[in-house]
Amino acid sequence: MSTTASASASPTKTATTATTTPPLPTPTKKKVDYKTWHGDYNIKVMSHPINGRYIVATNDMEESTVILHDLPYVWAVDTTAKNFVCQQCFLEVPLTSQQSEDEPEYFVMCERCNYVGYCSDECRQLDALQHNLECAIFEHFDTNEYTDSLISEVKLLVRTLSRKWLELSLNEQDSPYSKYKVKTAIPQENGLRYRDYEQLVSNINSFCPTLKESLLHWICNKVMILAKRYTGRKEDEIDLLNVILRNRCNAFYIQGRPKAGGNGESRGCGVYCLEDEALDTNTTNTEDTPVSLVKSTEENQSQTTQSQISQSSQSQSQSQTSSSESQINATPDTVITD
């Protein structure tokens, strides 16, 4: 579940034609703040009132230079794929009807809510703390009148809340989320937190009143009531609306991982804190799991492309990412939206 961005000699070339990645810096054991880790790199992080955080290159960069490294803050499997895609690792397990009787595949659904499934005991244990907080809401949420896409949106909202609640209930030094971190030579924010997620734009004023009223009635109010009744957590309906719209603005599609290998279809989505859901037109996406990297795509280009800040975060659109390599022109004042 990750994205990677890298450089190529031409914006139309894919990652397979990129040049060899230059040597990377030595990993550091100290805690890294994502707002300052880029100090030794030729970039700066800036913010746009509508599009949120983005990156500006301050000098020319060599092709394939690693610029940033991102991990999803929260992710969820679409409800249409819950019976065969692991919530934790997005591995696709063949349905029972497609399996060999002699060698059945392991896949277990949560017995209480039937909203999430896992491909192994290990994945189930990794997700247990977060799912325990959301399971009661899933168990009592009546979805008979909801479309599959709306149920998936409810899942992402509730998982975002359960992630926040888990952070509030744990000492950060003992947080189980350290298990999700990957040892790498690439600087990364060492511990994604809800406060980082909150800095992503929701553009609540850009959505039509009718849509917001519908979301408040069909999702926010119901989740708010169930959260208080079954978890003891008090949430504000407007805060929940902001979460839904923030997810709409910043969610990326995540591809499943077929057991046979190769790229799978989109099976869910995740919200990344550093990279916008739609990069500018000179980007391409290819696989690089399990983390998100951003690399330069062109070397020594002189023009400024700061006008390429994405405006699409005002609408409900999501981009292929879980296995993606986003490529950008790394020239002075080039922007990479988050």
* Confidence category of residue 120, pLDDT binned at 50, 70, 90: very high
pLDDT at 304: 29
Mean pLDDT within 234-251: 94
C-alpha 304/C-alpha 12 separation (Å) is 19
pLDDT at 17: 31
Are residues 286 and 323 in contact, defined by beta-carbon separation less than 8 angstroms? yes
Residue 329 in tokens: 């022109």
Mean pLDDT within 65-77: 77
**Do the bridges between strand 251-255 and strand 319-320 make them parallel or antiparallel, or are there none, so unpaired?**
parallel
**Chain segment 137-168, per-residue pLDDT in tens:** 999 999 888 999 999 999 999 999 999 988 88
Place of tokens 């990957």: 182
pLDDT at 260: 73
Give 117's strand partners.
109
**Chain segment 195-215, per-residue pLDDT in tens:** 888 888 898 998 999 999 999
Res. 173: pLDDT tops 60: no
More confident residue, 225 or 286: 225
Cis peptide bond prior to 23, omega within 30° of 0: no
**Chain segment 9-62, per-residue pLDDT in tens:** 333 333 333 333 334 334 444 444 545 544 456 677 677 777 777 777 777 777
**Chain segment 295-314, per-residue pLDDT in tens:** 455 544 333 222 222 222 33
Helix (H, G, I), strand (E, B) or coil at 108: strand
Helix (H, G, I), strand (E, B) or coil at 298: strand
Residue 335 in tokens: 């922007």
